[in-house]
A and B are shown apart, each in its own frame.
Chain A
């Protein structure tokens, strides 16, 4: 008997007798004899809890965590501080172990938290409707593409080169199945240009124009002119945004963007080598019935008490089947819960203070780095938490020197370019160490 089952020999005999069969094997009589596994699967034997812990802890030891290295890696996921209360609350079994809230009367805790989460995302994005989460950032862009396809049935996506490459690739994977094209429009001095969009053929075949905010190179985009030109051709505008940066930046929804999506990891979620985290997804009123995934709505119970339910489910796969707005079912409820707890922890003033702290330290880091001979900025645009530099010199030497100093200097997104991310965990002393180390390597 394994430690997760409880059938004693005595139980087994009585259970089989109750069923009216002589053996467990008889329960599998429908499985054709030729299909039965002979013997056991070629997997190792099971281990005790202590042994499993030992083996997997040893594997984890072979990973270099952000505890052990000063990391300037970002590019979509950030070494942000996760406050203790987030881990503590999300570890509660009442949040950790239930299924999707199909029985709302006994799921009010999770449903209300989702409702609060939706409200917080609406505030950040400046849009009136946000769903209860999607998988993560890049696939959220692909999901937004599907919404645009359902909405206007057009054949092309114009995607700014400032959108995260994983998002562009995820969209392209799906768009192939829809017979649609994904065309990447180059940046000009680090940002999306209206002129470049026009030249790329922003016409009535374009389903959506997709941009990042800040974009992949860290630059803050001017959204209003992009929205203006896209809407004139009847295309939707999708913006993939960094949620903490939105504490400081114009809400994309307030500038006319139709769909705002993004990666939520930086809101109270651990890096987890890339997941699980969550994706957020917000739309205009007009698009509410095209929204993918779970949506929580407020209602009343039989005694008039306020309560919450999953709503507008006629959009969803379990009701609408092949006519659903998406196939998404399980999403990232627990990670979105971490998100709303984190946003409550930051609070109204804290969000601004955090975003400003990032902007100040990022500006400092950018100044220090571009002052090094051999380091040049990739663009001059305003940035919040991340910026791109070009190394005119031996990049491998830079990386090696940094590594020896216990630093990861950033994401090498091109042969001679680094994307440097600053979080609230990166101090001035660490930034100085990064600058000094790169300077030494290039000297």
Chain B
């Protein structure tokens, strides 16, 4: 293969000879970064404080390194990450939108960052008011009046929601055993169903990419506790028959659960509550700009309809009659706690700052542009001829994301979706989500978000077209990509066969 083609276009990382070393391998006996505050109390023999048999005989082998070494080590490691501030990150279902810098500044204020969770409520009125306002805002966006901020991530919100469903049915003296999800669902949905103690039943997808209503009808009965749905679906398509679906589900007394992973398409345009959903979770790290942190933190608040309110987790943030804010623990029908304290407050600060920045009109505009950008990118890919090899899984107007199938590309050009993804890395673009949803062969799920410019979208379309042209002459380049990343393709099967999950010390 030609060197010219595989040569780095832009090196976004800097390499050094010892980059492979771990912090443990940099350790040298006697080095240190920590100086303990001085012992200002009378020293007692340790044996008097904690008997020797309760103490560890050997010191934990943490690294012995100086402060400059730590700073350089982790700074260099950081340069081996691709990140959203550096480049386009159209990861489907993940909503990698810009993370405003303002939010970090506000979250870092001492009144937020250095506030103890058990601080007396009268000394945490600002925090509780912020939470109360966020609850109100999320409720308005969802079209459901009652919000709990407690769940820590989307999947945690799902579990909370399904347990609330269980509590609701039990309160009606109703023992149901099954929960339905479409075959396009995020993996968290079926995993949540099992974790909440229900049996999963899968519902098919029709020829237009919507829930197969006939299949749904075949499976609903009074054993069904809930249908979990994402709308727009993971195919990036709006469920046209959502009202009918809601009716079918409610007719058997089941609840309708909204997976909020794709909420970014519809904020201020339509509301899950109005569609008939009873429970909604939000991913504050998706639609509401909490930086993803390389895998968290996030937050997964839920909003519920009136008849579900008694079952929300404990405690709830409430406003008392005198206008003060409080934590209400006295909720006898609550499902209980889902975690410690009040939830990921630092995430709430960032998301509330975002809602306050955008306001009602701005949120609507964000969703409109998210959908505009996705459709524009799809049209640009079509114009570049990309769709001849990567046809849209369902040829419709999409919402905030769209799904392509790499099956033709694989057959005609001899490269797989994975190869295309890896070759994108050489172009300084993060690949879309790949191999999901499962029902699309060689799937590629693209979500540009509203915060990208048209130029960035044009560039992405051109890059994909170029990779396909390159593959037509030399598929090996994509098959062996990436060529310019800090490492070449990694042996994932080998890692799983012989797991090495800690550094041998």
Contacts and interface: CB of A to CB of B under 8 A. Distances in A.
B360 A42 contact: yes
Given A43-B360, A92-B78, A335-B297, A347 B499 contact: no
Given A323-B194, A333-B295, A361-B41, A102 B59 contact: no
B71 A30 contact: no
Contact of B23 (A40, A128, A340): A340
Contacts of B376: 15, 18-19
B397 A27 contact: yes
A347 B340 contact: no
Contact of A173 (B31, B337, B344, B453): B337
B341 A77 contact: yes
Given A99-B91, A128-B502, A317-B191, A45 B359 contact: yes
A322 B76 CA distance: 39
B85 A97 contact: yes
B79 interface: yes
Residue from A53, A272, A308, A343 whose CB has the most chain B CB atoms within 10 Å: A272
Contacts of B188: 317-318, 327, 329
A325 to B, nearest CB: 9
Residue from A55, A116, A278 whose CB has the most chain B CB atoms within 10 Å: A116
Contacts, number: 701
A35 B115 contact: no
A391 interface: no
A251 to B, nearest CB: 6
A151 to B, nearest CB: 15
A372 interface: no
Contacts of B408: none
A101 B363 CA distance: 28
Interface in A29-62: 29-32, 34-37, 40-47, 49, 52-53, 55-62
B114 A270 contact: yes
Given A321-B190, A322-B194, A324-B187, A105 B486 contact: yes
B454 A7 contact: yes
A35 B62 contact: no
Contacts of A167: 340
B135 to A, nearest CB: 13
A18 B376 CA distance: 7
A18 B383 CA distance: 9
Contacts of B80: 106-109, 112
B113 A270 contact: yes
Interface in A342-368: 343-354, 356-357, 359-361, 363-364
A311 B153 contact: no
Interface string B22-42: 111001000111101101111
A317 B497 CA distance: 19
Interface in A147-179: 164, 166-167, 169-170, 172-174, 176-179
B364 interface: yes
Given A65-B111, A108-B81, A327-B188, A40 B360 contact: yes
Given A94-B86, A135-B339, A120 B62 contact: yes
Interface stretch (B3-11, B250-258, B365-373, B468-476): B365-373
A299 B495 contact: yes
A331 B486 contact: no
A332 B32 contact: no
A318 B187 contact: yes
Majority DSSP secondary structure for residues of B touching A: loop
A273 B163 contact: no
Contact of B111 (A60, A263, A276): A60
Contacts of A389: none
A193 interface: no
Interface residues of B, number: 206
A75 interface: yes
A274 B345 contact: yes
A254 B60 CA distance: 12
Nearest to B428: A106
Contacts of B59: 247, 348-349, 351-352
A276 B296 contact: yes
A172 B422 CA distance: 44
A183 B505 CA distance: 40
B285 interface: yes
A428 interface: yes
B419 interface: no
Contacts of A92: 75, 78
Contact of B368 (A24, A67, A136): A24
Given A31-B238, A273-B127, A106 B482 contact: yes
Contacts of B500: 297-299
Interface stretch (B215-223, B265-273, B385-393): B265-273
A37 B480 contact: no
Contacts of B238: 28, 30-31
A64 interface: yes
A106 B486 contact: yes
Contacts of A364: 41-42
B154 interface: yes
B332 interface: no
B338 A96 contact: no
B182 interface: no
Contacts of B375: 19, 21, 27
Given A31-B238, A133-B296, A138 B339 contact: yes
A59 B126 contact: yes
A109 B79 contact: yes
Contacts of B115: 63-66, 271-273
B361 interface: yes
Given A61-B126, A166-B340, A309 B197 contact: no
Contact of A116 (B23, B100, B489, B492): B23
Interface stretch (A197-205, A230-238, A288-296): A288-296
Interface in B216-258: 237-238, 240, 242-243
A31 B321 CA distance: 40
A311 B495 contact: yes
A288 B499 contact: yes
A240 to B, nearest CB: 11
B463 interface: no
B268 A41 contact: yes
Given A1-B365, A18-B383, A273-B341, A334 B81 contact: no
Interface in B403-434: 421-422, 425, 430-431, 433
Interface string B115-152: 11111100111110110000001001100000000001
Contacts of B193: 322
A274 B340 contact: yes
A130 B266 CA distance: 39
Contact of A344 (B65, B89, B91, B137): B65
B84 A79 contact: no
Contacts of B352: 56
B355 interface: yes
Contact of A99 (B20, B85, B295, B368): B295
Contact of B366 (A4, A12, A45, A247): A4
A93 interface: yes
A98 B285 CA distance: 11
A420 interface: no
Given A98-B81, A340-B23, A177 B153 contact: no
Given A24-B372, A100-B292, A330-B154, A275 B341 contact: yes
Given A11-B454, A95-B293, A330 B503 contact: no
Contact of B490 (A85, A309, A408): A309
A73 B485 contact: no
A313 interface: yes
A427 B41 CA distance: 9
Report the 5 A-B pairs with minimum CB-CB distance, sorted nearest first: A274-B341, A334-B293, A46-B359, A60-B111, A274-B117
18 contacts: A24-B371, A44-B360, A56-B352, A98-B82, A116-B23, A169-B337, A272-B346, A274-B344, A276-B346, A276-B347, A322-B191, A328-B153, A330-B292, A331-B295, A334-B293, A349-B32, A351-B60, A424-B37
